[in-house]
Structure 1
Amino acid sequence: MAKIESIEGTAPLSRRSFLSGAVALGAAAATFALAGCAPRSMAQERADSVIDGGGYDIVVVGAGGAGMAAAIGAHDQGARVLLLEKMPVAGGNTCFAEGGMNACETRFQAAAGIEDSVELFAADTFKGGHRKGNRELIDHMCRNSNDAVEWLAGMGIVLSKLSTSGGASVKRIHRPESGEAVGKYIVKGLAEQCRQRGISAVCNTKVEQVLMDGERVAGVRATDPHGMTVEYRAQAVIVTTGGFGANHEMLAGYRPELLNAVTTNQPGSQGDGIAFCQAIGADTVDMDQIQVHPTVEQTTATLLSEGIRGDGAILVNAEGVRFTNELLTRDVVSANEWKQTGGGAWAVFDRHVRESNKSIEEKFEKRRIIQVANTYAELAEKMGVPTDAFVSTMEGYNAAIDAGEDDPLGRTKARNPIVLPPFYAVAVAPGIHHCMGGLRVNADAQVLNAAGDPIPGLFAAGEVTGGLHGGNRLGGNAVCDISVNGIQAQKTACSYVFAS
């Protein structure tokens, strides 16, 4: 079986990523993988037995952002915690989060003179989700978003840079000041906090079943890298396994038209947590609500952050013409792209945007999936769009901003002139990005059964849950979700454990 160690006691691994060509996690996250495993011969001899993995107060299943937040919080409350991860390294889909974290009434907004409120944040989220989201879950996330920002900042994970995302009334997306991708930044920070605390963790171990003692959760049964069955006993289980955005068969069961679509999800996003919770009576909600993201580079499934549009990038079609307000919600922008020739677009921006987003160099320039030129005409030639039309689009866009004229496509935010060479363009089209549906939970992160009653000892947070985002997730709300609800899950779980 995989050796149970504290993170601090593990051997560092070389830098690696979940997907070929994906963003490497960095040393702090890489050391979160466990290197110790039993010899193969021992595994073969014991393959038919069930190994006792020990007893804990809480087992957290899934070491992404929500899972690590839950493990840290539970540890700090005095619980004996075990963190399980089926992939070789920590991070999950959080590693691929690019834009930032939505939050309201933060000190960073106050310093920038931005007026925001729980009510406005909640209204934007409800509207952005086509008025299908669970208002209780929405209010809880928005009301606790500032506390989550401060909780992260207290551990040195500071999100102080503000930007705009589609569907937001004000600047409320919080990013690292350095401009690096928010997910990688948070994963490195949380993994380091887990390491410092000596939180016990096992990677390469897939949970197959939640164990029950009557109607109460009693632990989990898992398979280790050698195929051995291991049982971990616990009074509470927190499920933070993510969605099913990389399980095309499962996706097609709800949205057949997405069968062949590219996905931005890491390969571990298979819906495991949903399945093993359903097996003990957990209910689900909104399973057919699957989000596509409008700016995905199709040959590599690389996500171009929404923050890049929030900093001023525009979209043009194969004719070199703008066709949409780039800061509408993701589903609307995606639908508008699908109507264009070839079903995609070019994201166009200048040096100002490039310098504010470090991920452009790491994810696009180094992989040579970006066009760069010093003039509009030269860029048009590299893009393969009509030069005259593209130059006219760019000059007209800039002139309208300088003249203070309204945007004919209705864009009112982040209308920045694109005038600082060099100029950049990335070919994009919609790709599978997020599953809004999942386990039905309440605001205390308790998993509910079909009757709406909590399953004793079972909690969940993050993309494995449903109901919060409704029919569409706003950019920046996923990181808010995993942070707020990862914290909430451990609070409720600890209260449950300590009370019993």
Structure 2
Amino acid sequence: MTRGTATVTNHAGRVGRREFLKGSAAAGAAAAAGGVAGSVVQTSAQAPAVPARWDKVVDVVVVGTGHAGLAAAITATDAGAKVVILEKMKKEFEGGNSKISGNMWWTPTNLPEAIQYIEALSFGLTDKECVKALAEEMMQLNGWLEKLGIKRAPLGIFQPEHPELPGSACVRTWSNGGSSDGRLYIPLREQVAQRKIEVMYEAPARELVQTPTREVAGVRADVGGKPYVIKARKGVVLCCGGFEFDFEMQKQFLPGWPIYCQGTPGNTGDGIRMAQEVGAALWHMNNPLAGLGGIVVPEFDPVVIPINLSGAYIRVDKAGKRFMAETRPSRHGFGVKEFVLHFDGVTGEFPRLPCYAVFDETVRTRGPLTSMRKFGWFGWYSGYEWSADNSKEIEKGWIVRGENVADLASKLGMKPADLQATVSGYYENCKKKVDPDFGRATNSLVALEKPPFYAVKLFPIMYNTQGGPRRNGKCQVVKPNGQPIPRLYSAGELGSFWGWMYNGGGNNAECLCTGQIAARNLVAMKPLA
């Protein structure tokens, strides 16, 4: 889940703008060369030649050290295969989105309702074979984890996240003694270490190698800055995440852009391009898993910093107008999809990308606008200490301050009269304890009264993308005609089964399940000579 086309982190774990832009440019060039706007089918003339000499020979190459990659590596090793894992990032940043996620998962109580619920979440975008394969594996997930010494504890949140959907009563959410803090990832990583599975760091995969008969025979990577080719006698599992940090790919596929991510900057769509180059179809590319909302600042650009607000605040568009009930639950992507990713065909812009949270002095002095818990890239690796009263962030310009509403509007590039009308209208709603405009909950209607007034520029917070090479129920990557690409498998968020909606814990569960499915099917293959 953690690969890309260039190293984008510095020695302190911060993502530097210059380093990222350099990596983004490289990703864009690779995208242009490989094609990102559809399913690319290569001809035999385009296939790179099988090398005369391999630098390493194994049974299985796993690309990525997230939950999917670990599950695939453990499963293949336990079946007797020799495995190597390629990881783009430095060792300290291994684990991709998995390590820095909430580390929760969900399983169903029964198969019929699980199939029903997953089909409803996928909104008809995931075929029945894949839905059934995922549901069946999720039924067995807790048993597999227990064999590895990971004991589930009821978590209770997002149980279910979409109670309106059929089959939702089957959802049970779990953690390994608490969410976040790598509580699921760390013991899985220890299982890899116990099996002495080789992990090669700072070793980005670049290209898949195919035989003249179009079977995937290995991977071309960079190791120590030099080309390195690894033969996979049985095959390759791509577990290298999505395209959150490839902003050119975002423009081609997402329903609105830019969207900034709180996950690993290593996810720049490399697995998508590698799979396309050998003929893979794509699916679910328009499905960003994103919430509301966060800020992007020069010191940590392009990683987003989550912002938590309550009380005397409103959310407005670029023109200073409210557009939604601020307290509407985002439900892992909704709220964003309905309201923020809106394109105005008259003005020719996304008027809510970015939007602004406007608040008063009572909110500013109540406490930090963000939580520094160990969640997301910023929480894990930034080392930043947010000030208790947000004063340091005001000095940095992360939070904009205005002596009054008109002053604030001017600093945000809005017409003062428009923002003043919005704040005044909201004030009247608070007095009447009803929001006829957007239905904000009565108990949250707190007026903005105490100056100075403040604002932060908000972007959606993306957890991950779900799109990538299409796979079947065996986790084989398939061509546009549905035929598998021999010896190529995928797992996790790279071409996820989650087609449109999502229940919290679903990606971690899918990573663990599809990693196992892919490895079981791959190790059953007869090895290449």
CA separation in 2, counterparts of 1:456 and 1:345?
Answer: 50
Other-structure match for 1:336? 339
Q: 1:162 aligns with which of 153, 156, 161?
A: 156
Contact 1:324/1:333 (<8 A) preserved: no
Other-structure match for 2:241? 242
The one-character-per-residue Cα deviations of 1:370-391 (angstroms, maximum 9, x if unpaired) are 869xxxxxxxxx999989979x
The one-character-per-residue Cα deviations of 1:422-441 (angstroms, maximum 9, x if unpaired) are xxx99964134322221111
Q: What's the CA shift for 1:240?
A: 0.9
Q: What's the CA shift for 1:239?
A: 1.1
CA separation in 2, counterparts of 1:288 and 1:205?
Answer: 29
Please, what TM-score do these two structures have when normalized by structure 2?
Answer: 0.64
Other-structure match for 1:453? 483
Is structure 2 residue 156 aligned with structure 1 residue 127? Answer: no
Is structure 2 residue 261 aligned with structure 1 residue 263? Answer: yes
Is structure 2 residue 133 aligned with structure 1 residue 140? Answer: yes
Q: 1:118 aligns with which of 92, 100, 111?
A: 111
Residues 1:270 and 1:333: Cα distance change in structure 2 (over 3 Å): closer
The one-character-per-residue Cα deviations of 1:408-464 (angstroms, maximum 9, x if unpaired) are 7699xxx99xxxxxxxx9996413432222111111111112221122211111111
CA separation in 2, counterparts of 1:194 and 1:92?
Answer: 16
Q: Secondary structure at the match of 1:162?
A: coil
Q: What's the CA shift for 1:16?
A: 6.6
Amino acid at match of 1:457: R
Other-structure match for 1:27? none
Quote the RMSD (CA, aligned, Å): 4.6
Residues 1:209 and 1:346: Cα distance change in structure 2 (over 3 Å): same
Q: What's the CA shift for 1:366?
A: 5.9
Other-structure match for 2:516? 487
Superposed, 1:409-488 pairs within 5 Å as 429-466=459-496, 468-488=497-517
Q: 2:59 aligns with which of 57, 60, 72?
A: 57
Superposed, 1:96-495 pairs within 5 Å as 96-98=100-102, 100-105=104-109, 117-160=110-153, 161-164=155-158, 166-168=161-163, 169=168, 172-181=172-181, 184-213=182-211, 214-255=213-254, 257-258=256-257, 260-299=258-297, 301-302=303-304, 304=306, 317-318=314-315, 322-326=325-329, 328=331, 330-333=333-336, 335-336=338-339, 343-345=355-357, 359=375, 367-368=385-386, 429-466=459-496, 468-495=497-524
Contact 2:471/2:477 (<8 A) preserved: yes
The one-character-per-residue Cα deviations of 1:18-53 (angstroms, maximum 9, x if unpaired) are 7479xxxxxxxxxxxxxxxxxxxxxxxxxxx98632
Moved more, 329-338 or 58-67: 329-338
Moved more, 272-281 or 486-495: 272-281
Equivalenced residues, count: 411
Other-structure match for 2:420? none
Amino acid at match of 2:520: K
Contact 2:233/2:527 (<8 A) preserved: no
CA separation in 1, counterparts of 2:388 and 2:135?
Answer: 36
Moved more, 70-79 or 332-341: 332-341
Amino acid at match of 1:446: Q
Please, what TM-score do these two structures have when normalized by structure 1?
Answer: 0.67
Contact 1:292/1:434 (<8 A) preserved: yes
Contact 2:236/2:489 (<8 A) preserved: yes
CA separation in 2, counterparts of 1:499 and 1:147?
Answer: 31
Structure 1: which 5+ runs fail to align? Answer: 1-13, 22-48, 106-116, 373-381, 398-407, 417-424
Q: What's the CA shift for 1:159?
A: 3.9
Other-structure match for 2:97? 93
CA separation in 1, counterparts of 2:103 and 2:356?
Answer: 21
Contact 1:293/1:431 (<8 A) preserved: yes
Contact 2:255/2:286 (<8 A) preserved: no
Residues 1:153 and 1:88: Cα distance change in structure 2 (over 3 Å): same
Amino acid at match of 2:147: G
Residues 1:369 and 1:175: Cα distance change in structure 2 (over 3 Å): farther
Other-structure match for 2:345? none
Amino acid at match of 2:506: N
The one-character-per-residue Cα deviations of 1:296-334 (angstroms, maximum 9, x if unpaired) are 3444544659xx99xxx8996249995453154513345
CA separation in 2, counterparts of 1:283 and 1:441?
Answer: 9
Contact 1:315/1:326 (<8 A) preserved: no
CA separation in 1, counterparts of 2:198 and 2:383?
Answer: 38
Q: 1:82 aligns with which of 84, 107, 113?
A: 84
CA separation in 2, counterparts of 1:429 and 1:223?
Answer: 34
Contact 1:446/1:458 (<8 A) preserved: yes
CA separation in 1, counterparts of 2:81 and 2:12?
Answer: 31
Contact 1:65/1:91 (<8 A) preserved: yes
Q: What's the CA shift for 1:212?
A: 1.9
Q: What's the CA shift for 1:147?
A: 1.8
CA separation in 1, counterparts of 2:341 and 2:327?
Answer: 12
Q: Secondary structure at the match of 1:172?
A: strand
Amino acid at match of 2:162: G
Contact 1:166/1:328 (<8 A) preserved: yes
CA separation in 1, counterparts of 2:389 and 2:334?
Answer: 26
Q: Secondary structure at the match of 2:57?
A: strand
Q: Secondary structure at the match of 1:464?
A: coil
Contact 1:50/1:231 (<8 A) preserved: no
Q: Secondary structure at the match of 1:72?
A: helix
Residues 1:325 and 1:147: Cα distance change in structure 2 (over 3 Å): same
Residues 1:284 and 1:327: Cα distance change in structure 2 (over 3 Å): closer
